[in-house]
Amino acid sequence: MNLQVRAGEMVGLLGHNGCGKSTFMRIVATLLKASAGDCFVYGSNVKTEGDAVRHHVGFFSHVPGLYDDLSARENLAFAATMLGFPEADIDAALERVGLTHVTNERVRGFSAGMQRRLSLARLILQRPRLLLLDEPYNNLDVAGIALMNGFIRELNAAGGAAVVVLHDLVPAQGVIDRTVTIKEGRVVVPTADDLRHDGASPQAITLPAGAAGIS
Amino acid sequence: MNLQVRAGEMVGLLGHNGCGKSTFMRIVATLLKASAGDCFVYGSNVKTEGDAVRHHVGFFSHVPGLYDDLSARENLAFAATMLGFPEADIDAALERVGLTHVTNERVRGFSAGMQRRLSLARLILQRPRLLLLDEPYNNLDVAGIALMNGFIRELNAAGGAAVVVLHDLVPAQGVIDRTVTIKEGRVVVPTADDLRHDGASPQAITLPAGAAGIS
Amino acid sequence: MSPAPASSFAPPKPTPVWLGWLTFAFFIFTQIYAVVTSPADAMMGHLQKMMYVHVPAAWVTFAAFGVVLVASLFFLWKDDERADLLAASAAEVGSMFCGLTLVLGMLWGRPTWGVWWSWDARLTSTLVLFLIFVGYLALRSFVEDPHRRGQWSAAVGILGAINVPIVWMSVKWWRTLHQIQSNPRGLSPEYLRGLLLNVAAFTLLTVWFIWKRYEAARLERAAEHASQAAALGGYNG
Amino acid sequence: MAFRDDVRRIRAIVWKDLTTERRSKAGFNSVASLGVTILVLFGFALGPDAQALRDAAAGALWLAVLFAGVLAFNRSYQVELDGGALEALLLYPGARWAIFAGKLIANLIFVTAMLVIVVAVGIVLFQVRVPEQWPTLLGIMMLGVVGIVALGTFYAAMSSRSRAREVLLPLLLYPMLIPVLLASMEATKAFLNGDLLNASGAWVQMLSLFDVIFLVATFLAFEYVIEV
Amino acid sequence: MAFRDDVRRIRAIVWKDLTTERRSKAGFNSVASLGVTILVLFGFALGPDAQALRDAAAGALWLAVLFAGVLAFNRSYQVELDGGALEALLLYPGARWAIFAGKLIANLIFVTAMLVIVVAVGIVLFQVRVPEQWPTLLGIMMLGVVGIVALGTFYAAMSSRSRAREVLLPLLLYPMLIPVLLASMEATKAFLNGDLLNASGAWVQMLSLFDVIFLVATFLAFEYVIEV
Ligand code: HEM
Ligand SMILES: Nc1ncnc2c1ncn2[C@@H]1O[C@H](COP(=O)(O)OP(=O)(O)OP(=O)(O)O)[C@@H](O)[C@H]1O
Ligand SMILES: Nc1ncnc2c1ncn2[C@@H]1O[C@H](COP(=O)(O)OP(=O)(O)OP(=O)(O)O)[C@@H](O)[C@H]1O
Ligand SMILES: [Mg+2]
Ligand SMILES: [Mg+2]
């Protein structure tokens, strides 16, 4: 499975249920080890240089990854400390995702969409260079989708790359540069331009440093 | 909050994140007790006649409601016994949702979309007269969405009613008769025809038997 | 369909079964030989003959858990799945022999000490060792992901193997009812010959069991790999 | 008619619970091993004195069964909570007490099997002399098991849906079970000391009484704790 | 520099763990109450004989701390698993041992607080004479707590992420902890009997040895068990 993403490029990842999209994202995020093949993020191998990769990657998964018993603000403050970023931006991030009215409320009572928004706020704090979004529009209302798209465009403008898992292209219109489809464990290329196919060893590909390369 | 759904009618329920859509659905499904207001399903009060209501209602929630250690087939067999339906239809249901290749595999390894499909198969077995779908298109690929819509249309033709929580109307095109929006705890009516507003007591409404009434 | 991920997981060629029968025959022979040649003990009488099963069983237990230790360390170091499977096989066989040691020891203890069990250091530490590896096997069965399973059980296996020297030394560190290690030279030759032969037979048996389990485990893993690949391959598998 | 349906449902739940338990490899094996491990811990805590061990044997046996059993009770609802299966279970039409009956029976089978193993090991480890009428003893022990399982299954239904269920269940259950435990321990102890049903008779009566109370109360109250 | 970052991360994790523990209504309170309840159960199991109680006091205290502590260890990762927080935690850059250190410290604080309560109650319930040098006794007990918490926090990292974590954690932990428990019990017992560090000396040495082994081994191995 070969896929190369350039800096500043937003790639949509399609594929039918159970084809391995989430698994793929988790491998790139260093949360799973691929049994074969290599994957490089800005020149670092996800298998062996996990820590370097984690400096670049922001992952928005199926699950919110929040602490139910901390408030929205405390959750972000914890994330900021762990990421090594100043806590100053927290209120701005909360405002941006429209959660100021529940800043000090515990996440336990949040609805599915509110939790997704808070996860988004964490990504906003982090401003990763490679964004991995797994069905990011689930549970988000129209305003939420607009927020998400705004954030993606912003990162894009700053030269970040993104891979977005999607089933429905409509909400992502205007932010996705191109789409690829996973089929039977391979990338099927709708637009063949950007991809180097490596017939001999389809599981391994090395990419130039400076780009987010995923093979 | 007033909402009345007629037999054979499919209503889409919209509303921003956290406005109470899931809560509303769980109340109708007898999984939560409303603190105020009444709700009738085919003439039975959800608060006091839970068992009667449960005979009519099929609920497709955010979570799949499956046993990870049973196979797809065993899950459906259990559901069939509990529902009091013959087990004969199981294979047909599995085939319909495209899971024949994993009939005897444990649900534990299923992807998000495959689990949603299996939940759908359970609804297909049940053929409820009132269908409650909470963001049913989440995790489903294009084929899965088509399956879901086909099932809704079929129930519709058989005179069943449905309430569908949605954020995105596109996948539901052609199956939803009308939409209502929840805003600040009230139903905002896009097309006022079908709704009886009861200004004096906005939380209580009694509906004619024979229809799926939800107030 | 993606190609089979790790070619190292072509299932191994099965070892011929007659090797197993040979091992087993040797074991029967050494048992009979030892029982026939050794005279009745002055104190224990013919009960002494329990030694020919109890003591070798205990020793191969230690050896098997030693294999667990080495294979686990190797797995963490080289990340070679085969080492994990070897550790698992050795742990299974070791637990079996540990259980055998316990049961045989209890059967022996009843007539000689008058009790099935006593809370002395050798007996209890052996029981604890057994329980630790029961936990190890339970851990393996509760974890689905193979890589994770390998790393976790390696950690547990290494920590568990710490207890082998404790069992060994327990008779020295604490005063116990149980026999302390005897010097081979202190044992009269007619007992020693039978014992050593049986130790050899038990060792062969252990190697055979571990190897068979290992082969089976590799077949299981190859199947797991195949089904994983099929799952990632999608509907048409 | 409706009753036949309920019986079918109960059977389905028992089958489902025991199957998932069996499938979740080593589910039973590990709970039983844990029971044995706890017995060993008690042995260490009580020290090597044989008489002290024998005196405490009845108490240790019952506590080991209880501590390991609590895990089984929690597991039996955990299965329902993973992936929201409980929600689906509650949505099926039919009487809710059938759900309780199914879980109760499955847990009874489970805990009885564990009790047999724990008692067998305990007899060896604690150097207990097996009395002649051991079938009667097993019968008495079953009375204790019924009490523990009835209350355990019931409280697990509540605690499983709260956070911190691992803490909440024993916290609710242990104090409530003290009469049952005490009666079981005393009856067992009297019996092991060769009392031949004289001193243990009163305890057995007390045990039966508690069993009946607990069964009736939990069946009546289950509807309320499981709902909503 | 990097080390300073790690210290900051450790502090954040300790704060977060203790805060969620405090917030999750009655987290600490219920675990401590459970410890006391278990003590009471032991009291019943051992019967009313005062001397028997006193002899078994040290063992009962440690088992109560252990049985209640295990719940705390599992909870400390459960918090991470609800809603996939562990995934997020693992995605933060920085050394993974900092995560272990944070959880270890939080658990140490938690279990120590519980120990104090359990011991205080136990002294009353088991009619133990408090020795003059009780601060030394507390010090010895802390050694025991370190061993229990190090291994418990470590194994909980695994078991909490497997199915059947409630069963797996004690099954792995109890047998491995037996040397630590035995040493703690014996040292405590010797001390309570007014031994004044003579007989308990060897046990304290053994305890310290095990603490060091466990701490080193778990810190080294944590990277492997948390990864993936
Ligand atoms: C459950 C009860 C018992 C257990 C768990 C047990 C365990 C062990 C173990 C682990 C060893 C191997 C370690 C070593 O060689 O030092 C061993 C060796 C031995 N055991 Fe046992 N044992 C038990 C009962 C007995 C009894 C009842 C006897 C005889 C009266 C006995 C006699 C021996 C002898 C003679 C050795 C060989 C020691 C040597 O020469 O090195 N054991 N036992
Ligand atoms: N367990 C709970 N305890 C307290 N309040 C809750 C709980 N669950 C939800 N709420 C509150 O109820 C409100 C409605 O939540 P609900 O999940 O119904 O929203 P929703 O409309 O489904 O949103 P979404 O589109 O994000 O799924 C939210 O504001 C939330 O704060
Ligand atoms: N824990 C697991 N153990 C074994 N197999 C798994 C596991 N999780 C997923 N799989 C398998 O991996 C395949 C890919 O799953 P994945 O979740 O990546 O699919 P997906 O493309 O994200 O699907 P969806 O669109 O439904 O979310 C599935 O076929 C599934 O059977
Ligand atoms: Mg997915
Ligand atoms: Mg919702």
For chain D, what is the HEC assignment?
A: CHHHHHHHHHHHHHHHHHHHHHHCCCHHHHHHHHHHHHHHHHHHHHCCCHHHHHHHHHHHHHHHHHHHHHHHHHHHHHHHHHHHHHHHHHHCCCCCHHHHHHHHHHHHHHHHHHHHHHHHHHHHHCCCCCCCCHHHHHHHHHHHHHHHHHHHHHHHHHHCCCCCHHHHHHHHHHHHHHHHHHHHHHHHHHHHCCCCCCHHHHHHHHHHHHHHHHHHHHHHHHHHHHCC
E8 shares contact with chain A (CB less than 8 Å): yes
CB contact under 8 A, C237 and B101: yes
Q: Tell me the residues surrounding ligand 4 (ion) with CB < 5 Å.
A: A 22; B 112
In this structure, chain B runs to a length of 215
Greater pLDDT, E83 or A101: A101
**CB distance C109 to ligand 1 below 6 Å:** yes
pLDDT digits (tens, 9 = 90+) for B80-124: 988 888 777 888 889 998 888 888 888 888 888 889 899 999 999
Which ligand lies nearest to the CA atom of residue B63 in the structure?
5
Share of chain C above pLDDT 70, in %: 81
CATH topology of domain A10-66+128-206: Rossmann fold (3.40.50)
Each of the 228 residues of chain D gets a pLDDT tens digit; together they read 577 888 888 999 999 999 988 887 667 888 999 999 999 999 988 877 778 888 888 899 999 999 999 988 988 888 888 778 888 888 888 888 889 999 999 999 999 999 999 999 999 898 888 877 788 888 889 999 999 999 999 999 888 877 777 888 999 999 999 999 999 998 888 888 776 556 777 888 899 999 999 999 999 988 888 765
Pocket of ligand 2 from Cβ distances under 6 Å: A 109-114, 139; B 15, 17-23
Average pLDDT over residues B10-19: 80
At A43, the pLDDT band (50, 70, 90 cuts) reads confident
- Kindly report, residue by residue over B43-70, the tens digit of the pLDDT: 777 777 778 888 888 898 888 889 988 9
Question: What rounded mean pLDDT belongs to chain C?
Answer: 81
| pLDDT tens digits along C207-225 | 999 999 999 888 888 887 7
* Closest to D85 in 3D by CA, of B119, B123, C228, C188: B119
Q: Residue D157's closest CA among D218, D110, D109, D68?
A: D218
Q: Which of D80, D81, D91, D92 to mutate to test the interface with B (most CBs of B within 10 A)?
A: D91
Low-confidence ranges of chain E (pLDDT < 50): none
The Cα C157–Cα C163 span in angstroms is 10
Q: Is the pTM of this model over 0.80?
A: yes
Query: Which numbered atom of ligand 1 lies nearest the CA of C59?
Result: 12
From C179, C183, C195, give the residue whose CB has the most ligand 1 atoms within 8 Å, as the site to mutate: C179
For an interface test with D, the pick among E167, E184, E193 (most D C-beta atoms closer than 10 Å) comes out as E167
Distance, CA of E228 to chain centre: 26
Q: Based on the structure, what is the number of domains in chain D?
A: 1
Closest alpha carbon to E151 in E186, E181, E196, E125: E181
Interface test with D, best of B25, B78, B106 (most D CBs within 10 A): B78
pLDDT of residue C192: 79
Residue C7 is encoded by which pair of tokens?
A: 């070619």
Confidence of residue A62 (pLDDT cuts 50, 70, 90): confident
With tokens 């974890």, the residue in question is: C143
pLDDT over 90 for what percent of chain C?
33
Judge whether residue B183 has pLDDT over 80. no
Position C9 scores a pLDDT of 58
C131 band by pLDDT with thresholds 50, 70 and 90: very high
Contact across the interface for A16 and B113, Cβ inside 8 Å: yes
pLDDT in tens, B65-85: 899 889 999 999 999 988 888
Q: Which residue has the higher pLDDT, D212 or C36?
A: D212
Q: What is the nearest CA distance from D180 to chain C, expressed in angstroms?
A: 30
Identify which ligand lies nearest to the alpha carbon of A108. Answer: 2
- The residue among B182, B133, B215, B185 whose CA lies nearest residue B15 is B182
**What SS3 class is residue A71?**
strand
Higher pLDDT, C1 or E181: E181
Model confidence band, residue A198 (pLDDT cutoffs 50, 70, 90): very low
Q: Are D106 and D13 in contact (CB under 8 A)?
A: yes
C73: Cβ–Cβ under 8 A, 6 or more apart, which residues? C154, C158
Q: Which amino acid is at A3?
A: L
Tell me the average pLDDT of chain B: 76
Residue B210: pLDDT band (50, 70, 90) is: very low
Pick the atom of ligand 3 nearest to A19's CA: 21
- What is the edge-to-edge ordering of all strands in the sheet holding B130-134? B57-60, B130-134, B161-165, B10-14, B178-183, B186-188
Domain range enclosing E48: 2-226
pLDDT of residue E50: 79
pLDDT of residue A55: 85
| Mean predicted confidence (pLDDT) in C118-147 | 89
Give the distance (Å) from ligand 1 centre to CA of residue B99.
57
Q: Using CA atoms, how far apart are residues E51 and E65, in angstroms rounded to an integer?
A: 22
Ligand 3 atom closest to residue A24's alpha carbon, by position in its atom list: 18
Asked if B79's CB is within 8 angstroms of D19's CB, the reply is no
What is the distance between the alpha carbons of residues D197 and D194, in angstroms, rounded to a whole number? 8
pLDDT tens readout for residues A125-177:
988 888 889 888 888 888 888 889 999 888 888 888 888 888 877 777 777 88
What is this model's ipTM? 0.81
Judged by DSSP in three states, C189 sits in: helix
**Exposure class string for B173-183: b at 16+ Cβ within 10 A, else e:** eebbbebbbbe
Angle between helices E134-159 and C146-161 (to 10 degrees): 150
Q: Please give the helix or strand (H or E) that residue A11 lies within, else none.
A: strand A10-14
C contact residues 101-130, partner E, Cβ 8 Å cutoff: 128
Looking at residue B107, the DSSP 8-state letter turns out to be G
pLDDT at A164: 87
pLDDT of residue E23: 84
Mean pLDDT score of chain A, rounded to an integer?
77
